[in-house]
Structure 1
């Protein structure tokens, strides 16, 4: 068996999620810096999420039918960089909307295919996935802390150049990773194709909850930075608060293999949704109190860490090898639909209803997902 290319895989996750660390906390801040209203900000941030409804499924189908997943990752990374570089030409609403759509179409081609490649390298060591994925969390931390400090020293006009530098790292990382193909597993039936596998008990309920989780994340990823600025925190401190959430996520990833040995995916997902519901109430109503904010950010271990790792394992166990790319792509697409709807509703409700009610709606959505998981996801068979 070939040696696991741990550092090459980890480096790619580092740069990929560093880009998320550059966009999630600061993209709304940059658009606010350009003078856009909350509604326009919500729309611009929703566009990349909407592209996740189309792009991952198209690229996932192409990857499964051609087997050229690594080529798709490399082309996607390169085209992401080239499309986003257009932001240097103009900053009108229409042009930024086009930039958001085109670069996201290729960016969302990358991760689902790379997840399949990573799991193919891991083979029977799939429980080590979290040990590799945690480097993505480290990349996120480096980005949010570094950019938070940078924007205290420099104008937000430097923001596009910082993102382009991170995108260049993704391109280099994609060319450093060796290829791998999933092994054929006789214990997972392939007959009937992808759509028939979707009709198995609990699969559609799982994907519905993926969309609901990202819908509930809408206010967090769109307006948390502006919300914390509004209650008196500095940009440098806000970067540290984002980083704290990801540190908690990293610690969770380190424990995830043990948790999945002890608890079922159903239990892990249910706990994630319940903790998420509480977290949004704390952020919406009590973020001005530092101990409460620190506790809420530590809950990111469940909101993202446990949820994402459990979802990746669920998809891997639920689909045959020839449908792995489509299964991961559908996960990304449903997350995109939920995230886009979350960004849109947050943009429209932020000014009218205020942060507390906007986060309260998110909490109710997370509780609905918990109910679906508890009643519709069947217990796992040994």
Structure 2
């Protein structure tokens, strides 16, 4: 739970702040609900090979690591972050339209990279506005963010049904419709004025503070974000593989929804889990289960086996992410909170981009057995997290 701080002076919150932020979260996650599982399926309809698909999916990730912080600086300086949302949504919509007339590899690569650049700041800026509401007026962040996850599940299920009827051709119209909805909903964005704290993205343009340079904390960030990055092949090629072995669009939608639903359920239980288990236990549980998840994935386990495996997402992302966030709260001063989140975003983005790129090669070379490479990545993440645990200053025997 993100604690609220009382405002230094009396100020009325914008009307209907919580439902307006909830809608702002819904729109981009509807786009993600169509794009994350099914955009690779559309790419496969263009007769692109798996290596080319991996390249197209990875390049925007590299681009957004650079562009998102620059736009974050702009959003903080213009005084009203909501204005940037409008431009992000409009430009994203036009790049989606451009994909309709760009069937070649190079055209898709360039346009999708541009889309990554203009779309990347949208959700972080919504996050920044939401956190302003938490700090100034004590709103519940979870209740605003929850509706985005529900929208993602709904879009994924709808996309699965549509892909079963229309095939990969439904992906671009669905994405364009989601971006059009984003444009409409940006006009509902609450105006909260000039930020009193820099956003997470803004801090990426500066050197990290000393608290974040400690070797044990750096190793922990690397370990957790390696685990995050090990999901890259799942995001890029799971829907293509499941379609290849005969799963229907509805079944693929159910598999993706199961992972997100398990993640949401774990977030609901997080407070109870934190009271009963240490943060290191939460982090190590996610790390080791990620290794197990990618070792099992290439096996012939059928629909219900994959359904159960998708529920591992509650551990390989949600419980580990919760542990990492609470660890940052303990180890990093409040005034450096945005820098910590920015560094977390940076590492996750870089590793996910790298492993999305390499997953194209491994999937081309080894097919579904390429998922074993992700287990190696996860194992490296476990090693980094274990090294961080051994180096932490407060461990007995190390003078803590």
TM-score by length of 1: 0.86
SS of aligned partner of 2:299: helix
How far did 1:128 drift? 4.1
Equivalence map 1:161-172=2 (5 Å): 161-172=173-184
Cross-structure match for 2:185 = 173
* In 2: Cα distance, 1:276 partner to 1:239 partner: 22
* In 2: Cα distance, 1:182 partner to 1:253 partner: 28
Alignment match of 1:93 (pick from 105, 119, 132): 105
Could you give the per-residue CA deviations for residues 88-110 of structure 1, whole angstroms, max 9, x where no partner exists? 22211111011111110011112
Equivalence map 1:173-212=2 (5 Å): 173-180=185-192, 194-197=207-210, 198-200=212-214, 202-212=216-226
Cross-structure match for 2:352 = 339
Cross-structure match for 1:27 = 39
Q: Is the contact made by 2:25 and 2:126 (CA closer than 8 Å) also made in structure 1?
A: no
* In 2: Cα distance, 1:194 partner to 1:78 partner: 32
Equivalence map 1:285-300=2 (5 Å): 285-286=299-300, 288-300=301-313
Alignment match of 1:361 (pick from 373, 377, 399): 373
Alignment match of 2:314 (pick from 281, 301, 323): 301
Residues 123, 267 of structure 1: alpha-carbon distance in 2 compared, 3 angstrom cutoff: farther
Equivalence map 1:207-246=2 (5 Å): 207-246=221-260
Could you give the per-residue CA deviations for residues 242-265 of structure 1, whole angstroms, max 9, x where no partner exists? 111111112112222333454454
* In 2: Cα distance, 1:339 partner to 1:93 partner: 21
Residues 316, 73 of structure 1: alpha-carbon distance in 2 compared, 3 angstrom cutoff: farther
Cross-structure match for 1:52 = 64
User: Unpaired runs of 5+ in structure 2?
Assistant: 1-10, 396-400
* In 2: Cα distance, 1:322 partner to 1:372 partner: 27
* In 1: Cα distance, 2:334 partner to 2:90 partner: 27
Alignment match of 2:23 (pick from 11, 21, 30): 11
Could you give the per-residue CA deviations for residues 171-204 of structure 1, whole angstroms, max 9, x where no partner exists? 333331214476669xxxx9xx742243245442
Alignment match of 1:114 (pick from 104, 126, 133): 126
Could you give the per-residue CA deviations for residues 57-108 of structure 1, whole angstroms, max 9, x where no partner exists? 2223334555543333332222222222211222111110111111100111
TM-score by length of 2: 0.82
Residues 87, 298 of structure 1: alpha-carbon distance in 2 compared, 3 angstrom cutoff: same
Residues 17, 48 of structure 1: alpha-carbon distance in 2 compared, 3 angstrom cutoff: same
Q: Is the contact made by 1:24 and 1:221 (CA closer than 8 Å) also made in structure 2?
A: yes
How far did 1:14 drift? 1.8
Q: Which sits farther off after the overlay, 337-346 or 267-276? A: 267-276
Q: Is the contact made by 2:133 and 2:139 (CA closer than 8 Å) also made in structure 1?
A: no
How far did 1:325 drift? 5.1
1:282 aligns with 2:296: yes
How far did 1:305 drift? 2.6
* In 1: Cα distance, 2:70 partner to 2:332 partner: 17
Cross-structure match for 1:40 = 52
Cross-structure match for 2:3 = none
What is the number of residues matched between the two proteins? Answer: 373
Equivalence map 1:316-331=2 (5 Å): 327-331=340-344
* In 2: Cα distance, 1:149 partner to 1:39 partner: 27
Residues 282, 95 of structure 1: alpha-carbon distance in 2 compared, 3 angstrom cutoff: same
* In 1: Cα distance, 2:324 partner to 2:92 partner: 25
